[in-house]
Amino acid sequence: MGLLVLLAVATVLALQFRASQITTFKYLNDKAQAIVRQIEFDIRHYLDPAVDQVEFIARQIESGAYDLNDTARLTDFLTGSLAGVPQIAAIASWDNDLRSVGVRRDPDGGTRLMEADARDDPAIRKAAGEMADADGPFWGELVFSGVTLINLRRPLRRDGELIGFLVAVITVPGLSELMIQTGDQFEATAFILYDRDRVLAHPFLTAVHEDQSRENPVVRLNNVGDLILSNLWNGTPVAGFEQAAAQSVSVVESRIADRSYIFIYKWIGDYGAVPWVLGAWFPEADVSGDLKRLWLSGLVGIAVLVLAIAAAVLLARQIAKPIGRVAANATLVGELDLSRVNRLPPSAIRELNDQARAFNTMLGGLRAFETYVPRSLVTRLIGKSHDREVISEEREVAIMFTDIENFTTMSENHPASDVATFLNEHFALLGTCVEAEGGTIDKFIGDAMMAFWGAPDAQDDTAARACRAARAIARAIDADNAKRCAAGKPLIRLRIGIHCGPVVVGNVGWPGRINYTIVGDTVNTCQRLETMGKDADRGDAVTILVSGAIARLLNDDFVLEPAGTFQVKGKADVVEAFRLVA
């Protein structure tokens, strides 16, 4: 029997060691990919919004909304465009005569007008010549103007004719700040190379380097001051990282001054003609330590399992099941999916029984709590705050107010329970449409609803999202009215107002009662716009009014009709209103 037990234990240990080996190397491969993936994500999150903004500006100019010769309106438009993309240092438009109008960001946070006539500038003439064959935005070569800049270019065409081009420049030191943050996450030194021998971003390059100039905007690899990084191309491939290699991630080892270092990198070619190398390095001990722990755990496992194999089988059956249930249910709680969470049964082990009782008590409180707090909002706030307090800040948002026409008259002859049931069904229709477009429902006020877009998550197309949600609500109300008509119930008529502008968004209240909400004149204007729907009523089931601020952000997918103007109480400005054809 002893021989059989030893044979069984040896088999189990061999299987466990192999599984641990696979798991360890999978972890190391995942870590290598995670580092590169995070760097790539940071870069794209830093640069790609500039592409979207330049494309938006270009389309506005190409559509005729702005004229390249109308300096005042064009300057205002470009100034406003800079506000949403802080990494853009300057943006300028050029006509075919190589005259430009642009704005640049000053160190104090303001902006300054730029005008130039570059007909005699060979560099600008060369850039203009490159536009003829370009179909959309493309990244040009790096330039140096007090700081290294990445430039993004976009030709402007109207009716197939080239009328000029846009140029936006983005500061590079911000990429080095991102490398510091990413490196801290993984206890590594992250970097971006510009081809093989120049360093674009590195923790040492958060300020202008002495070697940077107009002729050499990027520091040479051997001059950046990182002795470890300068040995990158002397490294040899490390075995065991085949999974990372399949994802185009290279892992090499280089020995420097009797110490070994691991380099993880990947080539990308999305930001200009010169490819970039995204990567990080860290001491080889970080990897070998995991492998040493693997072998040590195998030796310890042999000693422990020989002495405790019988007891382990019995205890594992008592412990594994309740722990598995706790882990599975805790994962669902972390996802706020409380409907699928089950109460934990009692356990014969005192600590597990106490844990089950505490978990069940927590679950009861959370289920009561989720009734009053929007799950979608809490989930997004958790992802945004990363365990930090949500602070109040000014944001540009789009706001929607809805209100049922003559609701008091409709409800006065019905029991309170019927009115509550109707409102719950009505708000379910509205809430589904709002959340489908990424909106946040702020509150319900009687039969009215307030929602907004642009917080807590930043959204570039808040106006379009709000208007799409409004059209979806109109369709939902029409479908619901068809059912109500068939059942002999009165039809619902709804007013919707949509407006956008700056608000203060964040936690508002006192420690015992806090709401994540928005406040400001923009909210009051939107509510006034919704009430104006009474005067603009044409008999439709849903009347949708949008402000001029919203209308200017919409494309041709939305059909608008002028609906007059109104003045907000206490303010001198007149607000334009448009009817959105649902």
Average pLDDT of span 360-378: 65
Is the pLDDT confidence value at 377 over 80? no
Mean pLDDT of the chain: 85
Q: Give one DSSP letter per residue of 135-192, joined into a string.
A: -S-EE---EESSSEEEEEEEEEEETTEEEEEEEEEEESHHHHHHHHHHHHHHTSEEEE
- The stretches of 503-560 forming alpha helices (DSSP H) are 521-531, 548-551
Single out the residue of 230, 226, 232 nearest to residue 253, CA to CA.
Answer: 232
Encode pLDDT of 81-104 as tens digits.
888 888 899 999 989 888 889 999
- 8 Å CB contact between 263 and 252: yes
Is the pLDDT confidence value at 17 over 60? no
Encode pLDDT of 143-172 as tens digits.
898 899 999 999 999 888 899 999 999 988
At 456, is the pLDDT very low, low, confident or very high (cuts 50, 70, 90)? Answer: confident
Q: Give the up-direction half-sphere exposure of residue 436: CA atoms within 13 A in the CB hemisphere.
A: 14
Q: What was the pLDDT predicted at 291?
A: 56
- Residue 456 preceded by cis peptide, ω within 30: yes
- 8 Å CB contact between 94 and 78: no
Cα separation, 439 vs 500, in Å, equals 13
Cα separation, 401 vs 310, in Å, equals 67
Amino acid at 505: V
Q: What was the pLDDT predicted at 52?
A: 92
Q: What was the pLDDT predicted at 77?
A: 92
Cα separation, 114 vs 101, in Å, equals 6
Is the pLDDT confidence value at 475 over 90? yes
- 8 Å CB contact between 354 and 322: no
Segment among 53-57, 64-68, 355-359 with least mean pLDDT = 355-359
Which pair of tokens denotes residue 567? 């003045």
Q: Which residues contact 74 (CB under 8 A, 6 or more apart)?
A: 61, 66, 67, 68, 93, 101
Is the pLDDT confidence value at 272 over 70? yes
Encode pLDDT of 512-523 as tens digits.
667 778 898 999
Q: What was the pLDDT predicted at 368?
A: 60
Is the pLDDT confidence value at 492 over 60? yes
Average pLDDT of span 385-401: 77
Domains of the chain and CATH, by start: 46-172 (3.30.450.20), 174-289 (3.30.450), 290-370 (no CATH), 392-580 (3.30.70.1230)
Segment among 243-252, 383-392, 563-572 with least mean pLDDT = 383-392
What 3-state DSSP class applies to 274?
Answer: coil
At 18, is the pLDDT very low, low, confident or very high (cuts 50, 70, 90)? Answer: low
- 8 Å CB contact between 202 and 193: no
- 8 Å CB contact between 427 and 421: no
Q: What was the pLDDT predicted at 336?
A: 62
At 209, is the pLDDT very low, low, confident or very high (cuts 50, 70, 90)? Answer: very high
Is the pLDDT confidence value at 324 over 60? yes
Single out the residue of 106, 102, 199 nearest to residue 146, CA to CA.
Answer: 106
Beta bridge partners of 395: 503
Average pLDDT of span 40-49: 92
Single out the residue of 519, 489, 487 nearest to residue 503, CA to CA.
Answer: 519
Is the pLDDT confidence value at 544 over 80? yes
Cα separation, 140 vs 153, in Å, equals 7
Is the pLDDT confidence value at 299 over 90? no
Single out the residue of 412, 415, 403, 406 nearest to residue 491, CA to CA.
Answer: 406
Encode pLDDT of 338-362 as tens digits.
667 778 788 878 888 888 788 888 8
